[in-house]
Amino acid sequence: MSFSRLEFRLQTTVVAQGILTPITVVIEEPVKWSEVQIVAERDSEYHGVNFEYSDGDISVDFTCESASSLLSAQYYTYGNDAAVKFLLVSISSDLAETIRFTGKIDFNEVIIENGRVSCHIVKDDLHDKIQSRFDTPVSMADERTLDNADITPPDPVEIGLPGQALIESGYYKRVGAWSDVTEIDNPPAVGYYILLPNLIYPVGQSNPDGKPSLDTLNSSSGQINTYNGTTLQTAPDELPFITCSTAGTYDVSLIWSYEINLILYKKALLIGGAKFTGWTIEPILAVARPGQQTELIAMAPKQQGSGETNETGFKTVNADYSGTFSVTKGTKIYWYTQLRVFSSTARKLIIDVHNFTVKADIKRTTRAADSRGFAYLLPDALKHVFGVVSNALSGVTGSVWGNLISKASATQPQDGYGTEYAVSSGQQLRNLKTKAPVFSLKQLIGFLSANHAAGVLYQTDANGNHSIRVEEGRWFYRGGRIMTLEEKADEDPDVFTYTEKPNLDLACNQIVVGYEKYPTEGPGVLLEFNTERTYQTPIVSHELKKEIKSPLIGAGAAIEEARRLGIPEYDQSGKLIDRSTEGGQYDDDNFVLHVAPKAESGGVTFQVIPLTGFPYKPGQPAAKRFILPDDAAPLQVDDVVIFSNTGTANDGVEYHIFTIVHDNFGKPIYTVDASFPMVEGTFFASWQTKAQPVRIRTNERIDVLGIADPANTYNQELSPARMLRRWAWLLNSGFRYKRSTDELRCTDYKGNKEMVSRIRDGFNLPGDTDRQEVYETGNVALGAFEHFEKVFSPETIETQVCMTREQVEETLLACTNQHPDESKNCGYLTIKRKDGSMSDGFLMKLQHNPTSEVATLTLNKRFVQTTLGGPDCSDYSNWVFNRFETDGTADPDLYLFCTFQSFL
């Protein structure tokens, strides 16, 4: 690839009235420009290579009449607000142009005199601008960019939110002897009393605030009441053991062991002692479902007696219950002992209870009704936020694209995985539109990075239009050899240098992967898997923690808690209860939702009905309508429907439903805007509504064990263990010199420890090409970690070489994916030394002096599978896994040359 010349241009960006296009003039090369170095560096976190002329101030002189005239005219028209671009354009031998540098004249420090201009050039760099605003919050409702330009915000999509079952468990135990004594003066002749279990920690024991551990069943969907052992003279309606605000199933195991003595003091002037006419002791578990008769469950045989004088003596009670029952919303569960005391001769009753054991073990499964919420498709949100912070992208929301976030097209065979994500806030999940969610690039790109090691590449086309490409991390290192840079025999020995040193950035001894925020208490936390995991790696000599965390919440328990606040509730009169002003724990948090296209398919009949009574002819007034299959979900007036796969002009048209009528069989006929084209006939078609293009993706692509409700559980494919596998290609690079049988050992986890998943046949997901069983808290053998694939060798190459301007230009074109030879895009450089030895590396840093044509390069050494002197891996194909640890005949080098896949 050759370049014939560089051309320098000045171009106005503020145009005078009556001038329709900017003014562009070609100028001579500025004085001192040859001293400006080219500097390039790869983003260590997001992989893209960015380059610029000079890493500091650029001061130049123009001895050019055309430059002087243009700048003078602009200054004397607009003052120091004048805006003139400085462009460096590379023109190839076939006259193709590429803008290599864009800056602007700083009119605050410009000197113009006698055809000579001295000025500073301020870099107009999209990368620098976006990086300075990377953490800036942007509202999805913003209609102005940060630089005060107009921008049209995207529309949110409505999305159905399934009720995810939440499993909670609580356990309370108090063992020992303690007494509760109640005195009742002037008891009635027929007395009824309620004895409650003592559900409070003894003084000095584990919980100083007195709450038992059953408080994990919290008030959002049912509460365990805490109270002292008490004797009441009324029914226990105000003191239920559990109040159920959500329907569910309870597995309950209760034990209450105590002895009780009933003591009477006789009334004055009575001869003899106070006598019991009768008494009963009856432990009961009562389940009061709304609108139904209360279910009474005996927890122990009823004890009773009569005729005793002064006291009954201690009666031992061993009450217990183990069982499962389903409850509806509003159900109350009571746990108590009912006492009946009959005596007409007593002036005082003493109930003396000696407690021995109180235990409660409860497991509850609840599933609230489905609801609706709002979200933004991640590509739409990303384009909007990039557009607001950059102010420099073409189109309404900017040219932001990439295989990861784009839909299938003629150049892309399938939808990118990034199109499967939607982002929302706690308020949107509860169906509130009072406040648009706020996202930053750090959150959106950070999520894609955590799940796909994703990166960002900033590009500028030949016309100076900026674009941003978002891709999976492996894409940035996919290419072949860009060129070979050689140490020449006749070269000045002081020019060429070459050193290698360990790349300690790859040598992590600990990996923390998962989510920055997740629930740690409350409903569902015990089975929540989208939390975090900690792995210890085989690296022992270097301490480095690698954190791979999503800033967006992916925990289904948190999503469920947020969305339950949006489920409509009605009072007894049927009036909707307004809860929009009630605050939710997650209202201002941001979430990710894994989604799938919500499309139906079947035979659709399209009809064009002439309004004139004659057969329809193109151009005549007509009613246009369609009829869906019998089993199709019903649509509503004002829905906008989009069809595909008909093979006709009906595909892609946004049909707005105006009216709905029904034929004689009750089938709906949807009449649409007649101004849109429609081809008559019955065709097989797929369709979806514009407002509801997606649905929640659950377990249709993976089999899952260890969670309560796979068919309704959120974000199952976004678990930390699967995140880890999508980083395998990069993490493995740091373990090159480890054995394939070495492991990443899971040393810590939060929440669910039982989840196991496996991709179903017929589906392919990144990071798991073999469809392994993925244990969320299991150890991972390096050889099973995507076949121990590596991109880098864990060394850094630092070299100084001779490079012409053309070689630098070609390298930067390839590193920014703009080389005409696709095989070189995102490729590597080869360094060849005098002795013939060669090393490959991916560019990390470059600094080039155009005067001396000397470049200083930092490269990440490319991994090359070495086979010379290594064992034949096929010799071990029939060995079982454990044999590698015990059989001394194994070649000691096989772990360096063979992968886990070689042994299968």
Q: What is the pLDDT of residues 491-515, one digit of tens each?
A: 666 678 999 999 999 999 999 999 9
- In order, the DSSP letters of 330-391 are T-EEEEEEEEEEE-SSEEEEEEEEEEEEEEEEEEEEE-PPPEEEEEEEHHHHHHHHHHHHHS
Q: Where are the domains of the chain?
A: 3-33+56-124, 166-366, 599-691, 873-903
Distance separating the N- and C-terminal Cα atoms of the chain: 45
Q: What is the mean pLDDT of residues 81-108?
A: 82
Q: What is the mean pLDDT of residues 810-833?
A: 93
Could you tell me the pLDDT band of residue 397, with boundaries at 50, 70 and 90? Answer: very low
Q: What is the mean pLDDT of residues 782-788?
A: 83
Query: Is 576 a residue whose pLDDT tops 80?
Result: no
Alpha carbons 785 and 767: distance in angstroms, whole number: 8
Question: What pLDDT, in 10s, does the model give residues 635-673?
Answer: 888 889 999 888 888 988 999 999 898 887 888 999 998
Query: Is 877 a residue whose pLDDT tops 90?
Result: no
Could you tell me the pLDDT band of residue 436, with boundaries at 50, 70 and 90? Answer: very high
pLDDT reported for residue 396: 40
Q: How many beta carbons lie within 10 A of that of residue 823, not counting itself?
A: 12
Could you tell me the pLDDT band of residue 600, with boundaries at 50, 70 and 90? Answer: confident
**The token pair that represents 219 in the structure block:** 């008030």
Looking at residue 750, the DSSP 8-state letter turns out to be -
Task: Specify the CATH number for 166-366; select among 2.60.120, 2.40.160, 1.10.150, 2.60.40.
Answer: 2.60.120
Query: Is 866 a residue whose pLDDT tops 70?
Result: no
Q: Above pLDDT 70, what percent of the chain?
A: 87
Could you tell me the pLDDT band of residue 794, with boundaries at 50, 70 and 90? Answer: very high
Q: What is the mean pLDDT of residues 124-140?
A: 88
Query: Is 298 a residue whose pLDDT tops 90?
Result: yes
Looking at residue 787, the DSSP 8-state letter turns out to be G
Strands 466-471 and 455-460: antiparallel
pLDDT reported for residue 20: 58
Instruction: Please give the model's pTM, rounded to 2 decimal places.
Output: 0.79
Question: In this structure, are residues 13 and 22 in contact, taking their beta carbons and an 8 Å threshold?
Answer: yes
Q: What is the mean pLDDT of residues 160-170?
A: 86
* Region of poorest pLDDT, from 210-214, 359-363, 545-549: 210-214
Lookup result for tokens 């329709």: 20
* Region of poorest pLDDT, from 355-359, 828-832, 893-897: 893-897
Query: Is 98 a residue whose pLDDT tops 90?
Result: no
Domain 599-691 class in CATH:
mainly beta
Give me the sign of the Cα torsion angle 95, 100, 106, 109. negative
Q: What is the mean pLDDT of residues 829-848?
A: 92
Q: Above pLDDT 90, what percent of the chain?
A: 45
Alpha carbons 784 and 267: distance in angstroms, whole number: 85
Question: What pLDDT, in 10s, does the model give residues 172-188?
Answer: 787 878 788 888 898 88
* Highest mean pLDDT pick, 321-335, 549-563, 865-879: 549-563
Q: What is the mean pLDDT of residues 777-804?
A: 90
pLDDT reported for residue 894: 67
pLDDT reported for residue 31: 78
Question: In this structure, are residues 826 and 479 in contact, taking their beta carbons and an 8 Å threshold?
Answer: yes
Query: Is 207 a residue whose pLDDT tops 50?
Result: no
Alpha carbons 390 and 146: distance in angstroms, whole number: 8
Q: What is the mean pLDDT of the chain?
A: 85
Query: Is 56 a residue whose pLDDT tops 60?
Result: yes
